[in-house]
Structure 1
Amino acid sequence: MRRLTSRIRTAAVVAALATVCAIGLPPGSSGAVTHRAYAADDYCQGQCDDILPPGENGNATLADILANRVLGTRPAHTDDQLAPYANLVDGYTGLTDASLGSFFNDASFGVPAGQVASTTKPRSDVTIVRDKATGVPHITGTTRYGTEFGAGYAAAQDRLWVMDLFRHVGRGQLSSFAGGAAANRQLEQSFWQAAPYTEAELQQQIDSIAGQGARGAQALSDAQAYVDGINQYITQAYNSRTFPGEYDLTGQINAVTNAGTIQPFKLTDLVALASVIGALFGSGGGGEVQSALVKEAAEAKYGTAQGDRVWNSFREREDPEAVQTLHAGQSFPYGQDPADPQGTAMPDPGSVTPQQLVYDPTGSAVSNARAAVKAPAALKPLQGVYDNGVLPGDLLTAKHGMSNALVVSGKYTDDGHPVAVFGPQTGYFAPQLLMLEEIQGPGISARGAAFAGLSFYVELGRGQDYSWSATSAGQDITDTYAVTLCNSDGSPATKNSTGYLYQGSCTPMQALERDDSWGPTLADSTAAGSYRLIMYRTAYGLVTARATIGGTPVAYTSLRSTYMHEVDSIIGFQMLDDPGAVDSPQTFQQAVQHIGYTFNWFYADDAHTAYYNSGDNPVRPADVAPDLPVLAQPQYAWQGLDPTSYTADYTPPAQHPQSIDQDYYVSWNNKQADDYAAAGFGDGSVHRANLLDARVKALVTSGQKISRASLVQAMENAAVTDLRGEDELPLLLRVIQSAPVTDPAQAAVVQELQTWLQHGAQRRETSSGSHTYADADAVRIFDAWWPLLVQAEFSPGLGSDLFTAMTGVLQINESPSGGQTGPVSGSVDANESIPHKGSSFQYGWWSYTDKDLRSVLGDPVAGGLAQPYCGGGVLAQCRQVLLSSLQQAAAETPAQVYPGDSGCSAGDQWCADSIVQRPLGGVTDGATNWQNRPTYQQVVQYTSHR
């Protein structure tokens, strides 16, 4: 029986949830805003809200950037959504429907009379109105072409620089565009590894859309109109010198003479942009080699039979205790391991080496080369702005938490209509990767968010009488194959060979090359340099590593089902925006079936809720293990695989997890349904989604009706709670308190932790603006303790090789500060100390500790680990392990736990946790309270339907 992972383990949290329920408005009281008239086709009637910090305006001229750096000023609407977003941390406890407007924008259609800030007509058939409150563009066209032209024009007004960055990232040419800082080079390398394309292949993907019927032809026409709108804005902005100042900073345009150009956009740029977004948020799987290394290490430690049991228990592919989005017992078998796997391609121990990517490097890293760039004295404050890069170097390679959703059936709400609080967690940037917009025209009627450069359709938002959102699903659509290496001249193959056996012949790999060179710019003092990036491609995908199998040299390749199909999902987004295509939960599900990327999609209208898991799920042979590398032979490959078109057979829509009108849905990148196997490690008994599931279940079963405000409160209560504190600390204390704690110092520390737990294990200020946590010392101790206790609990039993291999597939910690990464040198944790990112607690050893400690305590454990670890399974010895590691943690100073960075002093706990909008442009924002929450978020409750 599935463990009740949604249980609340402390009286303090139960009391907090009771308060949340009590604050909800009584039945029949919707709290709807009534200060404005609503459009006839807006069936939300003031009960749709959204928020996207820091602000809609992402265009700052050189003068604006200089003023920001010198005077601290910012252009209008650059940061006006930041404070409302941040203030919910302190304001959620007293929230009512009537006060939602203090923390969210009114997401109604249109702009009220008297609230028009500006009106622009880039063509006679489209009008862009911006509102005074947020500066969001409301685009209304009388023709389809004009509507999409206006969407492109508005996108360039708000996000031209971000769009330009990402079209260069997608082509592996960021350094030549924005400077050769190490982060820029790291980022372009990671994306060139994931999605390398020739220009002809980018165009090929555009051409393929045109062949997808009437909707495909319409999508191509829409995209062209959108690009035309972007380019008209570029021309006008260049002539009027109102373009983003980052073009001056990076040397695209001379800051004094205005010499230079902004390259016009073309359709293939949209494919490059889509490949970046798809790689970031819509893929899954691909960790088969790392999984194999864990399996081999487990077998080396325990022997084959027990080693496989250990590997499977840590793998948690089908953990019966995992919280799931579909909780009514629905089964959707996919990605399960066969009893007797065939064709596995396990590497010889120690033989795996990463595929070389960088060739012919010249120059050096950062040096004192600023003298090479001459700038007017007035611009000196801008020099060196981008020495650390324009984008995070680990944007793709690091694991990032994504999105969440809370959706409740009208059966449990205040006015009988469903309530949804949902949105994507795309990271915190200034400007954001997403932008807000409303688009109204022939065949399109929507408001919401879209990725900059792909905003010809609203991608997450609302239609006339429904809203939708998504979380990253990450199911396994990427597999690893082992191709046998060879040399065309018949000489013996080595691991460096660039030929492989295919259909009985030695076939040369295709080398996908990208040359990139860079030099110092006004804002980046990086020395000049260059290199060549080369990715090798086979019929079985891109080469990612080399190894030997039984002494035979092989290359491991990665094959993603959406590779070469980056823009195919455009049809689904087009349908979501079309009121003629979506008018029910069933038609919503039909629309998102056209999206090949791996997302969990959620829907709410006035009467129904729905869920659907999208993605091009390849059909594998029944005897192939999806979580291990396999031999590159036809009998083990995806069924129907065509290497010329990169297509295969995919599971039909009926086999994807889906549901209509479940009592409630929650998602925080967790397991979807019974028998839908996890693609990676970590979907076990304790998951970040437990925080949501516990609170929403408590609301649904409380007997009190749920309002928009009370569901927001449940979300935000989870957003400020430490998952480890709520779900792990009770067990840790039970073990420690299984005998009296006689040492006074240890007893005092235990009492501090007990008090923090009673207070809800939250990370919140003592009072608004204090920048000091309540229970600060307990939080510090627990932050220091977690990585130490995991090592002390598991490393002795696993041994160093297996423990290190396990940390290579699943980091042991993901704290808000990113500063407590664990003691294992070279582990995944060493790459996961990402400060100020907000999103926390998705990846960690929470389930392993939970199951192990419950086993030691004698509690029932379904799907437990293959053997006990803490103290060898002996309670008294486990207790001593925890006490010793706790004593070590308590001795760490605040400066050791929170070591400080460029924005925070060592030991500043609040600052270490704080969210910082990572500047993609020249304008910066201040730090705000930590909260574990989507970047863009909607709160919706529809009152009627067409």
Structure 2
Amino acid sequence: MSPLSPAVAAGADRDGPPAVTAAADDHCGGQCSDILPPGQNGNATLAQILLNQAFGTQPAHAEDQLGPYANLATGYPSLTGDTINSFFNDASFGVPADQVASTVRPAGRTDVTIVRDKKTGVPHISGTTRYGTEFGAGYAAAQDRLWLMDLFRHVGRGELTSFAGGAPANQGLEQQFWRSAPYTEAELQAQIDSAAAKAGARGAQALADVEAYLAGVNAYIDASDKARTFPGEYVLTGHKDAITNAGTIEHFEPADLVALASVIGALFGSGGGGEVNNALSLLAAQQKYGVAEGTKVWESFRQRNDPEAVLTVRDGSFPYLTPPADPQGRALPDAGSVTAEPLVYDRTGSATAQPAATALSSARRGMSNALVVSGEHTASGHPVAVFGPQTGYFAPQLLMLQEIQGPGLSARGASFAGLSMYVELGRGQDYAWSATTSGQDIIDTYAVELCQDDVHYLYRGTCVPMEKVERKNAWTPTVADGTAAGSYTMRVWRTEYGPVEYRATVGGKKVAYTSLRSSFLHEADSIIGFQMLNDPDHVKGPEGFRSAVQHINYTFNWFYADAERTAYYNSGDNPVRADGVDADFPVWARPAREWRNWDPAANTAAYTPASAHPQSTGQDYYVSWNNKVARDYSTASWGDGSVHRGNLLDDRVRALVERGGVTRAALVRAMAEAGLTDLRAEDVLPDLLKVIDTAPVADSATQAAVDRLRAWLTAGGRRTVTSAGAKTYAHADAVRIMDAWWPLLVKAEFAPGLGTELYTALTANLPVDESPSAAHGPTGAHAGSAFQYGWWSHVDKDLRAVLGEPVSGPLARAYCGGGDRAACRDVLLTTLKEAAAKTPAQVYPGDDNCAAGDQWCADAVVHRTLGGIKHGPIAWQNRPTYQQVVEFTSRR
């Protein structure tokens, strides 16, 4: 059968007789599964929202994937190949005739059909023309996520509060994202045109796909407005009248997709930044120890290329951003001179200024994770993969599921709402792909020297004005949030070297620190890569996969599996820096320090060639959990050292591969177990106990705490409940003690030697802890993702040095007890005793979701509400939001 043939399942068509055609080629043999909580349906009418708020009732398919997803936490130990789909969906192509819930030809079109299945309500979009297929994709997206799409096109424009009200969360969202992408309307449209123009026939096809997709979105807007079935949030925010139906839901246009893409790119695909923060901690280290020794101390904490780091690509070297021996052009700030550039002005009423992007907030959210095993080590002889992105937990979810079949299109999987003209993460006819965030540095900080006044700067020797870009927002009270009226103006000063983020002096000269990102003005460029991934004529093996993801300018790790082969590729537009530039620090904005071949008008430059990007085909296994990508490949991430959450995957998958006969069920169990394990318990607690065990513990209360921790470690160090449905951990006291102990011991171990100023500066680079219950750090409370950011490696290396064990890539100095084992032991026991005495209420102080002392709830995953429908919390799991389990049984 031709890969261009449509796949349309049987079912009743409300506009005509049943339509039945053959399904597209599906080589999964029933071995492909996926899951995306809480549910496919992210739209709700006003009546459904009011019922949910009053009685907790849920619209159909609003949270039917949440239960199976949550149940894996207790069900994984007994999971088998036959029971995988008790926790996942069947991700085969098409819908069996007896499972068809509805069949719709949107807007009466005869060239596209949307079939939804009974179990999940996922749309299976099949078209006989390319235009019709994309029209159907847009229509289905609006059916499932119209409010969310509308919300985020306003977030990307910095206009959320004017659209959805001035709730503090709304103010924070628009302030967070607009600062990094303060585009004009002309620039939004130009990016669509530019992406299409430079990609030849594929670019022209992408532009046509966008237009068809938006036509489908707008057709649904018109149909739902006429039928009064539009999302109820439009009434709650004052855009529609529930009685008269007065008001308007604005149609979508191509520029809206760029605004959406800028938000997604900023969240998940823009590695780098943080150079000002790095400079502050380096200066603090040099101030304490002197330039030479201070630099050594700083580098040892930075861990740019730690030899003990777990790697995704284990063979070969891929040098990138190697620290120069003699750095050139550094523009380090004078002590005490750095101030964050204000974003918010002219506040009135309920307006607030959220904390600006300061030198103390450089960490970014990660995506995770991937476990891929080659066929050489599986029971079937076919590769097995368990992978997916961790995009956070929201209601409705940022991602949505779909199957799309039409001319040149054949895929099923997840896409970001409003960008679903193609499947972005999923499976094709005989292959599957997924991504994790890689974090390599595509953002640089330039120090532009000011001239004349604070809004003029030297650009290639000429004093030129900065460009002022503003967004003025005002809001009135709404039913949705009840926030009082208010207004403010967001203002960003832009230079040729990017938006201004900080002001400082360097050697007494006034400068503005700017942020230059290689994907700035190029938010739409990746569309070509995703188009290729959906094209079965393009992807016929690892070569086609690599050529597709090479067109994606976001900083991602990409994984691939078909029936015979596996592959990996690291994507992103990695600019080539000038000789001698250290990308970890601010650099002077002068021609000699600019990116090679940089064109500021188009923001294009010379990029590292595809051959220089980390890549691999057929490695025995791959794991990724935002860990170090490859040897000598530097990223912007701190903490890629001896202990990383990637070790939790690597240890388990390596053991499976060594035994051989890996199955889908075994790989799911490995993922699930790693996702319930406390990284500190598994990989650092043994070091802590070794030090403590060098002498008897005199204090009985402290010994009792040691015994509880040891028993927990023996049981696996997991944060698991006593039984299915329970809300109490099996080793609750040990978990509480570790949560209380870790921040105390890290500070007591390192602060005395580093000094308060340097310790504080380094914790700004890398938070000491990110436990599931942490209400701080990059992800915040109830976010699921945990143990990505922390001082796990630093504690591990320091304690092993104290114990006299070999340490590759050691810290530059000894810290725990000044390097004395007995003194170090005293530090650990003193802090342990203090931690053990803390009550549950002190360790878990409670919040809007949880009572003080409720340990299970403090860890629990909460779907952050972006619309009117709310969902209950689920037990903590450190796993992808959307996840696939795949094993292809044949290939074309």
TM-score category (smaller protein): over 0.9
2:779·2:785 contact (CA, 8 Å) conserved in 1? no
Name the amino acid aligned to 2:606.
Answer: D
Shift of 1:39: 4.1
Residue 254 of structure 1: which of 241, 244, 250 is its match? 241
Matched, 1:327 2:300: no
Deviation of 1:756 (Å): 0.3
Q: Would you say 1:876 and 2:793 are equivalent positions?
A: no
Which of 858, 865, 871 is equivalent to 1:912?
Answer: 858
- Look up the match of 1:720: 676
The verdict on how the C-alpha distance between 1:397 and 1:70 changes in structure 2, with shifts beyond 3 A counting, is farther
Contact preservation (8 Å) 1:38, 1:45: no
Residue by residue, what CA displacement relative to the aligned partner does 1:868-910 show, whole Å, maximum 9, x if unpaired?
A: 0000000000000000000110111000101111221111111
Say if 2:723 is the partner of 1:767.
yes
User: Does 2:730 correspond to 1:746?
Assistant: no
Distance 1:881 1:295 in 2: 27
**Cα deviations by residue, 1:50-105 (Å, 9 ceiling, x for unpaired):** 00001000111000001111122111100100010000011110111011010000
CA distance in 1, matches of 2:364, 2:273: 13
Question: C-alpha distance in 2, partners of 1:835/1:66?
Answer: 27
Q: 2:26 aligns with which of 32, 35, 42?
A: 42
Verify the 8 A CA contact 2:498 2:514 in the aligned structure 1: yes
CA 1:841–1:297: 2 relative to 1, 3 Å: same
Partner Cα distance (1:646, 1:745) in 2: 62
Query: Which residue pairs with 2:6 in the alignment?
Result: none
CA deviation after TM superposition for structure 1 residue 764, in Å: 0.4
Paired residue type of 1:405: A
What is the one-letter code of the residue matched to 2:177?
F
AA in 2 matched with 1:919: T
CA distance in 2, matches of 1:802, 1:45: 57
Matched, 1:859 2:843: no
Shift of 1:113: 1.5
Distance (Å, rounded) in 1 between the aligned partners of 2:389 and 2:24: 29
Which residue of structure 1 aligns with residue 553 of structure 2?
Answer: 596
Retained in 2: the 8 A contact 1:299–1:305? Answer: yes
1:465 and 2:430 aligned: yes
Q: Which residue of 1 aligns with 2:93?
A: 109
Q: Please list the CA deviations of residues 472-524 of structure 1 after superposition, one character each: whole Å capped at 9, or x if unmatched.
A: 1110000000000011xxxxxxxx70000112211000111111111111112
**Distance (Å, rounded) in 2 between the aligned partners of 1:729 and 1:438:** 45
8 Å CA contact 2:277, 2:362 repeated in 1 = no
Q: Quote the offset at 1:833 in angstroms.
A: 7.3
Secondary structure at 1:935's aligned position in 2? coil
CA change 1:39–1:45 in 2 (3 A) is farther
**Which residues in structure 2 correspond to 1:167-246 (within 5 Å)?**
167-211=153-197, 212-246=199-233
Per-residue displacement from partner, 1:124-162 (whole Å, max 9, x unpaired)? 110000000100000000100000000000000000000
SS of the aligned residue for 2:311 comes to coil
Q: Decide whether the 8 Å contact of 1:191 with 1:276 is kept in 2.
A: yes
- Please point out which of 838, 857, 880 is paired with 1:892: 838
CA distance in 1, matches of 2:320, 2:363: 26
Which letter maps to 1:942?
A: F
Q: Quick one: distance in 1 between partners of 2:389 and 2:779?
A: 22
- Structure-2-length-normalised TM-score: 0.96
Per the alignment, residue 491 of structure 2 pairs with: 534
**1:420 aligned to which of 385, 390, 407:** 385
- In 2, distance between residues paired with 1:775 and 1:524? 40
Counterparts of 1:252 and 1:656, CA distance in 2: 48
Report the aligned-residue RMSD.
Answer: 1.5
Q: Secondary structure at the match of 2:345?
A: strand
Say yes or no: does 1:429 pair with 2:394: yes
Identity of aligned residues (%): 67
Contact 1:120 1:128 in 2 (8 A): yes
1:514 aligns with 2:498: no
Q: State the one-letter code of the partner of 1:724.
A: R
Deviates more, 1:846-855 or 1:737-746: 737-746
Any gaps of 5 or more consecutive residues in structure 2?
1-20, 355-360
The answer for the alignment partner of 2:367 in structure 1 is: 402
**Residue 443 of structure 1: aligned partner:** 408
- Residues 273 and 362, structure 2, Cα contact 8 Å, conserved in 1: no
Q: Residues of 1 paired with 2:778 and 2:367: CA distance? A: 15
8 Å CA contact retained: 2:37, 2:69: yes
Per-residue Cα deviation, 1:409-440 (whole angstroms, up to 9, x for no partner): 00000110000000000001111000000000
Counterpart of 1:917, as a letter, is: H
* Equivalent residue, structure 2, for 1:33: none
Count of aligned residue pairs for this structure pair: 864
Residues in 2 aligned to 1:662 and 1:540: alpha-carbon distance in whole angstroms: 40
Partners of 1:917 and 1:757 in 2: CA distance: 30
In structure 1, distance between residues paired with 2:364 and 2:722: 31
Question: Aligned to 2:114, which of 125, 128, 132?
Answer: 128
| Whole-angstrom distance in 2 between the partners of 1:894 and 1:707 | 40
1:651 is matched with 608
Equivalent-residue separation in structure 1 for 2:669 and 2:23 (angstroms): 29
Q: Secondary structure at the match of 1:486?
A: coil
C-alpha distance after superposition, 1:629-678 (max 9, x if no partner): 10001111100111111100000100000000000000001111111012
Given the alignment, which residue of 582, 591, 595 partners 1:638? 595
Counterpart residue number, 1:292: 279
Maintained 8 Å contact 2:268/2:365 = no
- Which deviates more, 39-48 or 710-719? 39-48
Q: Distance in 1 between matches of 2:323 and 2:363?
A: 27
What TM-score, normalized to structure 1? Answer: 0.90
Letter in 2 for 1:481: Y
1:486 counterpart (451, 470, 475): 451
- 1:832: how far off? 4.7
Which amino acid letter does the alignment assign opposite residue 159 of structure 2? Q
Distance apart, 1:38 and its partner CA: 9.7
Distance 2:860 2:285 in 1: 39
Q: Find the residue that maps to 2:34 and give its secondary structure.
A: strand
CA contact (8 A) 2:135 2:216 kept: yes
Contact 1:38 1:108 in 2 (8 A): no
Quote the offset at 1:335 in angstroms: 1.1
Q: Which residue of 2 aligns with 1:4?
A: none
CA distance in 1, matches of 2:664, 2:43: 34
| Partner residue in 2 for 1:665 | 622
| Structure 2 counterpart of 1:316, one-letter code | Q
Answer whether contact 2:24 2:410 (CA < 8 A) is retained: no
Which letter does structure 1 place at the counterpart of 2:700? P
Q: Which amino acid aligns with 2:458?
A: L
Task: Find the aligned partners of 1:717 and 1:505 in 2 and give their Cα distance.
Answer: 59
SS at match of 1:694: helix
In the alignment, which residue of structure 1 is the partner of 2:4? none
Q: Among 253, 277, 282, which residue is 2:264 paired with?
A: 277
Q: Assess if the C-alpha contact under 8 Å between 1:448 and 1:458 holds in 2.
A: yes
Q: Secondary structure at the match of 2:174?
A: helix
Indicate the residue corresponding to 2:357 in structure 1: none
2:667 to 699, 711, 715: 711
| Paired residues of 2:128 and 2:407 also in contact (CA < 8 A) | yes
